[in-house]
Structure 1
């Protein structure tokens, strides 16, 4: 089992999980503005921290998102977003990460889907112009109300490193479209999956069975439509991580 675990636990609990299971780490360390302001120090500190947790974990990076928007109509907001995304990408390369995740930053109260899609296409074409596919770049739904614009954007950008991070907890909470429809709609565009459960009202990042998402059906369908997608447990309670990993293993879901 080579699932990733979001580094939301304290280091002691992370070490305990990593000693029991073959899992990678998805770090949020380089999604924080202060870390990006002091890149060399942040890289040194995180490498030291990882060395104390496990020798060589498989790494994924969650990029910055607070106060940023690649689809902004404001050129200065786009500029600082580009700078922050570039910084986090360089840091991901420095630590040998295999993936980096960025939010779509879609806000249904601000953007019509077509405007968001057009603006995002321009941004991502610029960002990806000098990138190869050595690091996979995933865009993650948060407040997105449907999958169509994400699917269209991925198709229009058409870059081998660029695909979707389907966050099934966010889809369940912020969209009226059933999670199963998100899976079918994005299909093979899904390269990465954030897994957590909730009651459809609050984005609580619960364990796999603590919520109303039909997890067995959803994860089985993901295996059908995108069998090579990587999975990340985005949970913040130690006991729910352990029970979720055991449930995945018992049901032979991760391929």
Structure 2
């Protein structure tokens, strides 16, 4: 179910999913609580807080946030970005009332480093990672085994889609150069989310997973 930024204010729209066990993906376009622009930071904190408040109201198991660190945009200053991010995310955490976990997803980063820095600085058992195999395939400079080993025990969710290493296509699982079967054999997690762009591709991905007999 896709919601816009303002939809989270209309709780009545969410009645159809009450009672389900859910993983929610927070808004992420132009959301950056570690920005150098204080106006962006203020609005981004507000968006994250509204997302947490929705998680409090629903039976949410996990919520996924993008930390939105881009090494080229921020001149590879992981430490400075981590400090700004964590100082502002502490303000968001004050609104968490439920027992759901919080996961930070890899996107543009080339290795597992900044993710580790963020969860170590925030230092809560309920904060971990969402590993996105498609984003890994596009940007990584380390092996899959290295990345998963570095995040071992702290990955709460996988995002599953495929691509050919050039664009974030979100293809069905059997269209791309990622060996999905080998990936899924490396390390098990609690939540698996298929991220395709339409119903037909999602159905094809489900059937592909069934064919793997994992």
Give the match for residue 170 of structure 2.
205
**Shift of residue 133, structure 1, vs aligned partner:** 5.9
Q: Secondary structure at the match of 2:187?
A: helix
Q: Is 1:74 aligned to residue 37 of structure 2? A: yes
Give the match for residue 244 of structure 1.
205
**Shift of residue 132, structure 1, vs aligned partner:** 5.4
**Shift of residue 100, structure 1, vs aligned partner:** 1.3
Give the match for residue 140 of structure 1.
105
Q: Is 1:165 aligned to residue 145 of structure 2? A: no
Structure ranking higher on relative contact order (CA contacts 8 Å, 6+ apart): 1
TM-score scaled to structure 2, two decimals?
0.88
Contact 2:25/2:64 (CA < 8 Å) preserved in 1? yes
Counterparts of 1:243 and 1:185, CA distance in 2: 31
Give the match for residue 57 of structure 2.
94
Listed as ranges, the gaps of 5+ residues in structure 2 are: none
How many aligned positions are there?
212
Contact 1:133/1:161 (CA < 8 Å) preserved in 2? no
Counterparts of 1:237 and 1:65, CA distance in 2: 20
Contact 1:180/1:218 (CA < 8 Å) preserved in 2? no
**Greater helix percent: which structure?**
1
Counterparts of 1:162 and 1:185, CA distance in 2: 15
TM-score scaled to structure 1, two decimals?
0.75
Listed as ranges, the gaps of 5+ residues in structure 1 are: 1-6, 8-27
Q: Is 1:45 aligned to residue 13 of structure 2? A: yes
Alignment of 1:106-145 (within 5 A): 106-111=69-74, 112-129=77-94, 131=96, 134-145=99-110
Q: Is 1:191 aligned to residue 156 of structure 2? A: yes
Contact 1:169/1:197 (CA < 8 Å) preserved in 2? yes
Give the match for residue 182 of structure 1.
147
